Chain A
Amino acid sequence: MTEELDAGLVAEQIRQADVLAPPDQTTEIGRRRARKEDAKLVTGQTTWTDNIQFPGMLHAALLRSPMAHARITKLDVSGALQRPGVIAAYTASDLGADQIGLPCAWPVTPDMVHPDHHPIAVDEVRHVGDPVAVVVARDRYSAADALEAIDVEYDALPAVVDMEEALKDEVLVHADKGTNRSFTWPFENGPVDDVFAAAEVVVERRFIQQRLVPCAMEPRAVVVAPLPASDEYTVYSSTQVPHVLKLMLAMVTGLPEHKLRVVAPDVGGGFGSKLQVYGEEVVCLLLARRLGRPVKWTESRSEGFLATHHGRDQIQDIAIAADRDGTIRGLKVELKADMGAYLMLVTPGVPVLGAFMFNAIYKMDAYRFTCTGVFTTKTPTDAYRGAGRPEATFAIERVMDELAVELGMDPLELRRKNWIRHEEFPYTTIAGLTYDSGNYEAATDRATELFDYEGLRAEQQQRRDRNDPVQLGIGISTFTEMCGLAPSRVLGQLSYGAGGWEAATIRMLPTGKVEVVTGTSPHGQGHVTSWSQIASDALGVPFEDVEVIHGDTKTAPMGMDTYGSRSLVVGGIAVHKACEKVVDKARRVAAHLLEASEGDIDFQRGVFSVKGSPDAKVSIQEVALATFAAHNLPEGMEPSLNSDYVLDPENFSFPHGTHLCAVEVDTETGWVQIRKYVAVDDVGNVINPLIVEGQVHGGLAQGIAQALFEEGVYDADGNLTSGTLVDYLVPAASDLPEFVTDRTVTPSTSNPLGVKGVGEAGTIASTPAVVNAVLDAVRHLGVQDVRMPCSPERVWRALHEAQAGAR
């Protein structure tokens, strides 16, 4: 039986959910608005890139290398050209100089080794999935079939999949570069060597951040529609970054920027994997240009596993120095980060961001961080939800637990002893960032209360005492993150290729309706709803009267797009500021219409009134109409209320929180069951609590997935053996516990709304909370560590080996 989706019914249900919001709320900000955009998204009555059709549109398919590393000794596409429906087939040599390398916008050091990265491999392939040829056909089936008629032969070269092996430089990923080391990025503050030499306690650990494969629900897709007569091109792409993509496509193809338009239609998830300039986007543009016809490419899920960038994959050597009483003195971190075969858009910058997060919320005297980027014959890595920050948070929160064990302290007490106290804000950390606000005490107190920390500790002891086959463990994560990437000058200091500003435009329509144009590019975050709430409050217009326009460089020409929990703290604030400009100008019009001086005009909930004469008033909608008519405006005034604002943030924002996780570990099977999960997040003021909760839930799922389920596994020959959703275990709702979520509110002092961002918090916080809990359950049985994901087999084996060692 199939059920027809009724879009009207869904929309009605969403409207009814709104009724659940408290009726007495006078502001939109803080209201649990169901998301405006959901009815069309969940019923599919919208435009996903793969739905786009043009007359005469052609379909591209890429032949990808099955080898991790090989020289291409023969490549003949003539067989493909014989196949029915095939229009063209190209190799790298056919594309020649049209094929300029893909960009890396974050050269973290001046001497960074940055190999060429062609959309179609030239002479040599360097990871399974590296494209070697492209076929264009009248339909997708013909294109896929024709790939099998391409005659290609490879001369295998050795693969190198392990970073430490790669650093020996015996097998080179890029022979011409002479090394697999891309860069080493150092940071140091304070007398590190002295602190460690004098330390009463030093705990050293190695943690492995396994490789993760982003699995956005919507695979990637690109359509390029040319207008040959005027040499203009519209690129539709399932991307998080239409503005960045437009600029980069202009730079790598040489097409004039003003002849390019990039559209990100509704995009079904990204998690960083669509913060990228992909070879397929460049190739489709080149093909549309050569053939003068629209060209579409849509990724299959299997292709996505190989061709969409991966995340994490680091070796973390961390050492912490402390006094016997638990006072932290210093921290040393030596990071090796797997770049994969090439550097993509921000590949090198991702692990470097960790430099500012390993110290987390803790005070210390000295800190040293080095990060070495390493090439291997694997799919390139790049940003994945949290991007550098979850990795860092995992290591510091894990090592804090290890230090607590070493000192015989309660891990919460150890954290309490070392974190920045509420009264110490603003606080400049050892890594050089100034945290503007925070209240770790409040979040932790609330979390322990919701968790029943003492009760669970007592049960844990009982289970240990009776040698219960099911042991209980408690994991803690008191995390922070740097969000709102970022002040442009800071990005400049970090050698990032662009600024961190964001743009907004407010268009006041004659009927009083409002169009908010944003440079952020939502792909699931709910910006249409949140930005409507911000504009509704600032302009005093109904929530329903606001439309949000995004994701098209023609209609929203300025923007830096959506990633790094930046949209609200940069883009949302830009909307707020642009609204203020509208109100300022509307106030002048209102004063003119009411024949009062501007200083005497009050503005409240959409109505301008004259102080002392409450009957003399005019609504913002009336002002909008009057401005449109322009019959009676102040002398010399431009007849428009529209405004633009480009906001460059003054600081990062620093959401934080305390997450507590209780797990039961079945010592007979190694099975880990999350028994209770409490997340108390402090994301400052909240625009829409429902959206915040959704972000936290999704983030927790992704962080728990790293802790327990997901792992991108390569064999020694460089094959991705976890290349399907059968082998790469993305948990579903039924695999996750019920989450207890709550918030404390410590507003950011760096922006006028006091907001901080929430997109990555759950992911960053939850991974160490879960793994700490697993270790806490079995450490007394002799287990020192369990690598992620803590699969039943890994947990069982660790227990098994600990028992064998004890005998």
Chain B
Amino acid sequence: MIPAEFDYVRASSVDEAVAALAGAGDAKLLAGGQSLLPLLRLRLAYPEVVVDLGRVDALRGIREEGDRLVIGAMTTHAEVLGSDAVRRHAPLVAEATATVADRQVRHRGTFGGSLAHADPAGDLPAVALALDAEFVVQGPSGRRTVPASEFFTDYLQSALAPDDVLVEVSLPKLGDGWGVHYEKFHRVAQAWAIVGVAAAVRRSNGSIAEARIGLTNMGPTPVRATAVEQALAGGAASQEAVRQAAARATDGARPTSDLHAQADYRNHLVQVLTARAVLKAAG
């Protein structure tokens, strides 16, 4: 890798990281580097300072807090996958994380880094959105909590200010009766999702009581498929009913066209994949 020159700061605490960000003109956080390093390598990013969070131990780890599960921002994907608590209480996170790139990336890339990058083609933003995750953010004026619905603001843009650090993400524990599935459509294992659908479904007496659905790569931000959720709620878990509801997955979506798919194909795919994800989650 031959990036342009930059200064490097290794933070040992969140406070230090925030201070380093505040003191620099144009700084970037290094939180695993799986998105930042390619940008540096291609000289698409020219930060003056790179602040490395790799040694901030307080940002790592997974803990339970009552009916919520809290994942530290610097917890690697591999650590998320290895966690019993995640598997038990946030199985949708586990499923989606298992589809992230390849083993090497999952050992380097972090849960919080991936969310903070706010790439709508990333797998975790749609999951966080569907599960109503809460983002704990620390800036120069202290900590605040941002709901997922307000976190992703535009393409690669989030509610994080330039001198904010994402500390941790808190997710509601899914209780009994919930089924989940992450349906990822991508051409090769390490490629981004052309479309992804994160679905969590609570069944009750053969029908769907409640559904939470997030869409990957269907617009400049991850998309919450609220129209589908409403159509599903209280309805049958039958193929036909689910397909009908899934046809509304394009409501609110603004997919782009790129080398891997034109927008109309994405709009078609998202309906097929939403039905599949919901049926698998409900199955």
Residues in A lying within 8 Å of B, measured CB to CB: 1, 140-141, 144-145, 148, 300, 302, 668-669, 671, 709, 713, 721-722, 724, 726-727, 729-732, 734-735, 791-793, 796-797
Given contacts A140-B2, A791-B260, 13 further A-B contacts (CB under 8 A): A1-B107, A148-B4, A669-B185, A669-B269, A724-B42, A726-B191, A727-B260, A729-B188, A734-B189, A735-B189, A791-B187, A793-B260, A793-B262
B188, A730: Cβ atoms closer than 8 Å: yes
B265, A796: Cβ atoms closer than 8 Å: yes
B259, A721: Cβ atoms closer than 8 Å: yes
- Give the top 4 A-B pairs by smallest Cβ distance, nearest first: A144-B2, A734-B189, A735-B188, A793-B265
Q: Please name the residue on chain B nearest to A668 by beta carbon.
A: B272
B260, A713: Cβ atoms closer than 8 Å: no
B5, A302: Cβ atoms closer than 8 Å: no
Say yes or no: A669-B188 contact (C-beta < 8 A), given A793-B265, A796-B265: no
Residues of B within 8 A of A731 (CB): 188
B259, A727: Cβ atoms closer than 8 Å: yes
Q: Please name the residue on chain B nearest to A733 by beta carbon.
A: B189
Cα(A197)–Cα(B37), bound, Å: 63
Q: Please name the residue on chain B nearest to A671 by beta carbon.
A: B185
What per-residue 1/0 map shows which CB atoms of B20-31 lie under 8 Å from chain A? 000000000000
Say yes or no: A141-B2 contact (C-beta < 8 A), given A713-B259, A722-B259, A796-B265: yes
> How many Å from the CB of A583 to the closest CB on chain B?
50
Residues of A within 8 A of B192 (CB): 726
Residues of A within 8 A of B102 (CB): 732
Counted as pairs of residues, one from A and one from B, with CB atoms less than 8 Å apart, the total is 52
Cα(A780)–Cα(B5), bound, Å: 59
Cα(A239)–Cα(B149), bound, Å: 54
> How many Å from the CB of A215 to the closest CB on chain B?
13
> How many Å from the CB of A229 to the closest CB on chain B?
33
Residues of B within 8 A of A713 (CB): 259
Chain B residues 1 to 21 lying within 8 A of chain A, measured CB to CB, are 2, 4-5
Task: Flag whether B156 is at the interface (Cβ < 8 A).
Answer: no
Q: Please name the residue on chain A nearest to B189 by beta carbon.
A: A734
Residues of B within 8 A of A793 (CB): 260-262, 265
> How many Å from the CB of B132 to the closest CB on chain A?
29
Residues of A within 8 A of B55 (CB): none
26 A–B pairs (Cβ distance < 8 Å), ordered by A: A140-B2, A141-B2, A141-B5, A145-B4, A145-B5, A300-B2, A302-B42, A669-B185, A669-B269, A669-B273, A709-B187, A709-B188, A713-B259, A729-B187, A729-B191, A732-B189, A732-B190, A734-B189, A735-B188, A735-B189, A792-B185, A792-B194, A793-B260, A793-B262, A793-B265, A797-B265
Task: Flag whether B268 is at the interface (Cβ < 8 A).
Answer: yes
Cα(A727)–Cα(B273), bound, Å: 22
> How many Å from the CB of A708 to the closest CB on chain B?
8
Q: Please name the residue on chain B nearest to A59 by beta carbon.
A: B2
Residues of A within 8 A of B268 (CB): 796
B188, A732: Cβ atoms closer than 8 Å: yes
Cα(A144)–Cα(B4), bound, Å: 8
Cα(A730)–Cα(B191), bound, Å: 10
> How many Å from the CB of A615 to the closest CB on chain B?
62
Cα(A729)–Cα(B259), bound, Å: 11
Cα(A713)–Cα(B260), bound, Å: 11
Q: Please name the residue on chain B nearest to A140 by beta carbon.
A: B2
Q: Please name the residue on chain A nearest to B195 by beta carbon.
A: A669
Q: Is the interface of B mostly helix, strand, loop or mixed?
A: loop
Residues of B within 8 A of A727 (CB): 259-260
Chain B residues 84 to 115 lying within 8 A of chain A, measured CB to CB, are 102, 107
Residues of B within 8 A of A1 (CB): 107
Residues of B within 8 A of A140 (CB): 2
Residues of A within 8 A of B261 (CB): 793
Q: Please name the residue on chain B nearest to A469 by beta carbon.
A: B272
Cα(A1)–Cα(B106), bound, Å: 12
Cα(A727)–Cα(B102), bound, Å: 16
Residues of A within 8 A of B191 (CB): 726, 729
Cα(A144)–Cα(B2), bound, Å: 7
Residues of B within 8 A of A722 (CB): 259
> How many Å from the CB of A3 to the closest CB on chain B?
11
Q: Please name the residue on chain A nearest to B107 by beta carbon.
A: A1
Cα(A383)–Cα(B94), bound, Å: 45
Residues of A within 8 A of B265 (CB): 793, 796-797
Chain B residues 240 to 262 lying within 8 A of chain A, measured CB to CB, are 259-262
Residues of A within 8 A of B194 (CB): 792
Cα(A729)–Cα(B194), bound, Å: 13
Cα(A793)–Cα(B187), bound, Å: 10
Chain B residues 27 to 49 lying within 8 A of chain A, measured CB to CB, are 41-42
Residues of A within 8 A of B41 (CB): 300, 302
Q: Please name the residue on chain B nearest to A722 by beta carbon.
A: B259
> How many Å from the CB of A381 to the closest CB on chain B?
20
Cα(A451)–Cα(B17), bound, Å: 60
B187, A792: Cβ atoms closer than 8 Å: yes
Q: Please name the residue on chain B nearest to A670 by beta carbon.
A: B265
Cα(A1)–Cα(B104), bound, Å: 11
Residues of A within 8 A of B188 (CB): 709, 729-732, 735
Residues of B within 8 A of A148 (CB): 4
Cα(A85)–Cα(B192), bound, Å: 39
B272, A669: Cβ atoms closer than 8 Å: yes
> How many Å from the CB of A301 to the closest CB on chain B?
9
Cα(A98)–Cα(B172), bound, Å: 70
Cα(A735)–Cα(B102), bound, Å: 12
> How many Å from the CB of B184 to the closest CB on chain A?
12
Residues of B within 8 A of A730 (CB): 188
Residues of B within 8 A of A724 (CB): 42
Chain B residues 188 to 237 lying within 8 A of chain A, measured CB to CB, are 188-192, 194
> How many Å from the CB of B240 to the closest CB on chain A?
14
Cα(A265)–Cα(B187), bound, Å: 35
> How many Å from the CB of A280 to the closest CB on chain B?
16
Cα(A727)–Cα(B41), bound, Å: 16
Max chain B Cβ within 10 angstroms of own Cβ: one of A141, A671, A735, A793: A793
Cα(A777)–Cα(B73), bound, Å: 46
Cα(A668)–Cα(B191), bound, Å: 21
Residues of A within 8 A of B272 (CB): 668-669
> How many Å from the CB of B229 to the closest CB on chain A?
22
Cα(A302)–Cα(B107), bound, Å: 24
Cα(A709)–Cα(B260), bound, Å: 10
Residues of B within 8 A of A721 (CB): 259
> How many Å from the CB of B279 to the closest CB on chain A?
13
Cα(A730)–Cα(B272), bound, Å: 26
Cα(A687)–Cα(B190), bound, Å: 36
Q: Please name the residue on chain A nearest to B78 by beta carbon.
A: A1
Chain B residues 114 to 130 lying within 8 A of chain A, measured CB to CB, are none
Q: Please name the residue on chain A nearest to B2 by beta carbon.
A: A144
> How many Å from the CB of B85 to the closest CB on chain A?
21
Residues of A within 8 A of B273 (CB): 669
Q: Please name the residue on chain A nearest to B191 by beta carbon.
A: A729
Cα(A793)–Cα(B186), bound, Å: 11
Residues of B within 8 A of A796 (CB): 265, 268
Cα(A797)–Cα(B272), bound, Å: 15
What per-residue 1/0 map shows which CB atoms of B175-189 lie under 8 Å from chain A? 000000000010111
Cα(A730)–Cα(B188), bound, Å: 8
Q: Please name the residue on chain B nearest to A727 by beta carbon.
A: B259
Q: Please name the residue on chain B nearest to A792 by beta carbon.
A: B187
Cα(A302)–Cα(B187), bound, Å: 21
Cα(A709)–Cα(B5), bound, Å: 36
> How many Å from the CB of B76 to the closest CB on chain A?
10
Cα(A145)–Cα(B2), bound, Å: 9
What per-residue 1/0 map shows which CB atoms of B256-283 lie under 8 Å from chain A? 0001111001001100110000000000
Cα(A690)–Cα(B190), bound, Å: 28
Cα(A668)–Cα(B239), bound, Å: 15
Cα(A160)–Cα(B73), bound, Å: 48
Q: Please name the residue on chain A nearest to B46 by beta carbon.
A: A148
Residues of B within 8 A of A797 (CB): 265
Cα(A684)–Cα(B99), bound, Å: 43
> How many Å from the CB of B247 to the closest CB on chain A?
13
Residues of A within 8 A of B187 (CB): 709, 729, 791-792
